[in-house]
Amino acid sequence: MNLLQGRRTRCRLPRGPAPFVVSRGVFVAVPCPKPAGLLECNRIRLEEFPIKILLIQPYHKSNVKTRGRVYMSQLTLPLLGALTPAEHEVRAVDENVEPIDFDRPVDLVAITALTPTAPRAYQVADEFRRRGKTVVLGGVHPSLMPDEAAEHADAVVIGEAEESWPRLLADAEGGGVKERYVAETKPDLAGLPMPRRDLMKEDAYLNIPKVETSRGCPYRCSFCSTTIFYGPRMRFRPVEEVVAEVKAARHRFVFFTDNNITANKKYAKRLFRALEPLGIYWLSQGSIDMADDPELMDLARRSGCAGMLVGFESLSEENIAGMGKGASNRVDEYEEKIRIFHQHQIGLIGCFVFGFDGDDPGVFRKTVEFIERNNIDTPQLTVLTPYPGTAVRAEMEAQGRILHSQWEKYDVGNVVFEPKRMTPEELQAGYNWACRRVYSVSATIKRSVRSLKYLKNPYRSFVFGRNGSIYRKLFQVSQQHDQGIAPAGA
């Protein structure tokens, strides 16, 4: 299918309008009612036609709002916008902050999807295709479930976009897109373009700009999609390019999207040294073993690290070994390492997952007590979720333990599988109990006040207090099952 099909253009010859589709001077073989016209038109160049591209981030109820603003702006559409050759016309809509105009005159609609947003992404795709538009799906979920995505799209982009998105657009210019684009290599991150943040309605977000410093993860935790998607080899951006992007974002707070910003300590130390003069605060993700390196911790603090999102995952060594995270996580060292983080004035968003095979109904109280005892500044409680492509899903599928694949419920707040030592209902009820307890207003205030003592900085402690209330909202919306997969009124 040609994506410019139907766009009428005027032939420069005196014969008048030609019902051809034109792309940068190349005619596509659409039968012409005037046979001579085709010949004549083939000999001339018409004016250039930019492809009108609409990038879409689909709605999901988990994009909760604080004071009317979505809590996280996203990097995906700004980066896709920046990877789009300048001659095309590109717009972006995040459906979480503004409605989609399905009748907008566009040639190509490109939609990104994670697993929980996939059902809405498919609805949006179907709606545009009904209107004759060419639709492309990409991102983590379409990459891991390309056959499913292909039912709703003209093209599916599998993997990272740096090389395949421009290739797809070149095909579109030349006549038509292929059904699949597979990223042939993992792109080198040197020279990534500056994300087009101007494409987004920046005032619709709490506006914590996201910046990448690396992709990939050397570990392969059984429940995680990251290594499957980005690969086990870490790739890094040149430090000076990261610094330039942070400066351009013009914000005192930045979120680095890395899976493990300290996975390569040498790189991390260089990065932190370069960030220090910028006077920013930042959050990112990393593993608990970062606390083993005092120099790294010191540099992180001095560079403005307000907190790290750290995967504790479980308080059971058996679970840690089972998920393949033994290299970085030793349960008996957790308490000491938490103290080291706090001594360095670095707060913790501590992630705990419920529902591993070793978990029984005692896991909830034990985990909550650990969080309270150690003052995890913001606990992130989640239910084990068997995402496509992961080892956990393969194993559960083989054992017939997957309850359903209603992807919108794969939001880490809903039980979608049969646990080993509990019923699904017990797991859900235990999870809900734990969330109510740690995300209660009083628990959140208590944590913030305690955080203030060792973070020694009201701003940092405020960040964690705010995070706590965001996670409370996230938990609440995950339990609102009456909400559909589309925004109200869509």
Site for ligand B12 in 245-284 (CB under 6 A): 257, 259
Q: In a 3-state reduction of DSSP, which class is residue 403? A: coil
* Cα separation of the two ends of the chain: 28
Give, in order, the Cα–Cα distances in Å from 450 to each of 282, 283, 443: 21, 19, 11
Q: How far apart are CA 399 and CA 387, in angstroms?
A: 16
- 207 contact choice in ligand SF4, ligand B12, none (CB below 5 to 8 Å, kind-dependent): none
**CB of 227 or CB of 367, closer to ligand SF4:** 227
Could you list the beta-strand ranges (E) of 180-288: 180-182, 210-211, 214-215, 235-236, 253-256, 281-286
Nearer to ligand SF4, 134 or 284 (CB): 284
- Residue given tokens 């330039």 in the structure block: 244
* Minimal distance, residue 260 CB to ligand SF4, in Å: 6
Output DSSP code: residue 205: B
Residue 72 binds which entry of ligand B12, ligand SF4, none, CB below 5-8 Å type-dependent: ligand B12
For residue 141, the partner it binds in ligand SF4, ligand B12, none, with Cβ less than 5 to 8 A by kind, is: ligand B12
Residue 15 C-beta: closest distance to ligand B12, Å? 39
CB of 190 or CB of 445, closer to ligand B12: 190
Report the alpha-carbon distance of residue 90 to residue 165 in Å, rounded. 13
DSSP string, 322-350: HHT-TTT--GGGHHHHHHHHHHTT-EEEE
Binds 60: which of ligand SF4, ligand B12, none (CB < 5-8 Å by kind): ligand B12
Q: Where are the beta strands (DSSP E) in 61-177?
A: 65-66, 69-70, 89-94, 108-112, 134-138, 155-158
Closest distance of CB 435 from ligand SF4, Å? 21
Among 28, 38, 72, 452, which residue sits at the site for ligand B12 (rule: CB under 6 A)? 72
Q: Does 79 bind ligand B12 (CB under 6 A)?
A: yes
Rounded CA-CA distance 60/111 in Å is 14
Q: Is 468 in the site for ligand B12 (CB under 6 A)?
A: no
Do 275 and 282 form a contact (C-beta atoms < 8 A)? yes
User: Binding string, 131-150, against ligand B12, x = CB under 6 A?
Assistant: -----x-xxxx---------
Closest-CA residue to 283 (of 91, 467, 81): 467
User: What are the DSSP E strand ranges found in 176-280?
Assistant: 180-182, 210-211, 214-215, 235-236, 253-256
According to DSSP, the residues that pair with 451 across neighbouring strands are: none
Q: State which residue, 37 or 307, has the beta carbon closest to ligand B12.
A: 307
Question: 232 φ, ψ to 5°?
Answer: -80, -15
- Of 457, 450, 472, which is closest to residue 306 (Cα–Cα)? 457
- Among ligand SF4, ligand B12, none, partner that 219 touches (CB below 5 to 8 angstroms by kind): ligand SF4
Using CB distances below 5 to 8 A depending on partner kind, what does residue 117 bind out of ligand B12, ligand SF4, none? ligand B12
Structure token pair of residue 165 = 């998105």
* Rounded distance between C-alpha atoms, residue 277 and residue 269, angstroms: 14
Nearest approach in angstroms of CB 135 to ligand SF4 is: 30
SS3 488: coil
Task: Rule CB under 6 A: say whether 162 interacts with ligand B12.
Answer: yes
Using the rule CB under 6 A, is 387 a contact of ligand B12?
yes
Residue 91 near which of ligand SF4, ligand B12, none (CB within 5-8 Å, type-dependent): none
Q: Which is nearer to ligand SF4, 226 or 469 (CB)?
A: 226
Q: Choosing among ligand SF4, ligand B12, none, which partner's interface includes residue 220 (Cβ < 5 to 8 Å by kind)?
A: ligand SF4
Q: Which does 311 bind (CB under 5 to 8 A by kind): ligand SF4, ligand B12, none?
A: ligand SF4
Residues numbered 111-130 forming contacts with ligand B12, rule: CB under 6 A: 112, 114-117
The minimum distance between CB 314 and ligand B12, in angstroms, equals 15
Number of C-beta neighbours around residue 167 at 10 A: 16
Which spans of this chain sit near ligand SF4 (rule: CB under 6 A)? 217, 219-221, 224, 226-227, 259-260, 311
Q: Which does 115 bind (CB under 5 to 8 A by kind): ligand B12, ligand SF4, none?
A: ligand B12
Residues 224-243 that bind ligand B12 (CB under 6 A): 224-226
Which residues contact ligand B12 (rule: CB under 6 A)? 60, 62-63, 72, 74-76, 79-80, 110, 112, 114-117, 136, 138-141, 157, 160-162, 165, 210, 212, 224-226, 257, 259, 387, 411-412
